[in-house]
Amino acid sequence: MCAENGGASRGQVTGVFLDGIRFASPASGLEAFCTCFCEHCARAAEALGLDFERMQRDVTALYQHLVSGAPLAPPEVAGSPIGVLGQLMRWPGVCDWLWFRQRTITDFVEELARAVHGEGKQLGGYLFSPCLAPLVGQDYVKLAPFIDLFAPMLYRNVNERNCIAPINTELHVLASWEDPPRGPVGILALAGLPAEPHAGLDELLTRGVSPEAVRLETARARALIGPAATLAPILWWDDPLAAQTVACARQGGADGVQVFRLISGAKARWSDIDRVGSGVK
C-alpha cells in the first residue's frame, strides 16, 4: 500500500485508493472475460460449496454460445430484467460463476479495508459503472461497508475501440459479439440505459452515451451504496459536454467528481518503461 516503510500508518497518508479490483471485462476479450478456472479458483469455489464442474461446464457453454454470434438475450427481451434473468438461468453455473467473482472481490477488499481502517485511514476504490459492475465481480452493496469513497468510472465518450472500463466501449464490445452486431438501441436497453438516436453501433465510439446516462448511473450507484459513503465519479477529460456531464453527475447524487486525463504521448512512454522493466530490447 506504500512503497516506503510505515505502510498505511505514515502520517502524510490519509487513505488508499484501489484500482483494478475486478476480473476481466468484455473489452478484455471474450476468452479473458470467461475466466477464471485455475486450480486456485477451483479450491476457493469448492470451499464456498459451489459445484466447480458445473460452473466450468456452463461458462464453457456460454462462451460457445457467444462465439457462435448468438445473442445473450434475444432483442424481444433485452429491455426486460426478468426476461434477461430467464435467459441466464439456462446456465445455472454461470450464475454461480458471477456470484463467485463478486464474492472473491468482496473478500479481498474486506481484507484490505481491515488493514487500512485499522490504521485510521480511508479506503477508496475505482469501480466499473453500475450497469457493468456485475460482469467484472463488483457488487456495490457488498462493498459499501468497506469502501469510504466510491469512484465509478463513468467515462461516457471514449473514442478508442476495446478500451477497458468506459461505458460506451464496453457496450460496443458486448454488441459486437453478436452476428450481426446488436444495434445501439438494443445494447443500451440491455444495460438499462436510455435509448439514444445513434445512427449505428460505431457511433457509440464517436459520440458515446449521453450525459443523462451518467446521471442515471450515478443515481444507481448512490442507491446501491447508501448515503454514508462519499460518491465521486471519475469522468473523462475529453468530453465536449463536460459541464452538462458534471451537472448530471451532481443531479444523480454525487458529492463531487474526479476527472481523468490521458496525457499526450503517455502511452508510448509507459510502453518504453514496460520494455525496460521486462528486459525486452
Cβ neighbour number for residue 77 with a 10 Å cutoff: 17
Domain membership of residue 213 (yes or no) is yes
Q: pTM of the entire structure?
A: 0.88
Domain membership of residue 264 (yes or no) is yes
Q: Where in the sequence is the domain holding 164, given as residue range(s)?
A: 7-278
Domain membership of residue 1 (yes or no) is no
Domain membership of residue 154 (yes or no) is yes
The alpha-helical segments, DSSP class H, found in 49-183 are 52-67, 81-88, 92-118, 140-143, 167-176
- The number of folded domains in the chain is 1
Q: What is the pLDDT of residues 239-250, one digit of tens each?
A: 999 999 999 999
- Identify the band that residue 266 occupies on the pLDDT scale cut at 50, 70 and 90: low
Q: What is the chain's mean pLDDT, rounded?
A: 90
Q: What is the pLDDT of residues 164-205, one digit of tens each?
A: 999 999 999 999 999 998 889 889 999 999 988 888 899 999
Domain membership of residue 2 (yes or no) is no
Domain membership of residue 198 (yes or no) is yes
- Identify the band that residue 144 occupies on the pLDDT scale cut at 50, 70 and 90: very high
Domain membership of residue 94 (yes or no) is yes
Domain membership of residue 185 (yes or no) is yes
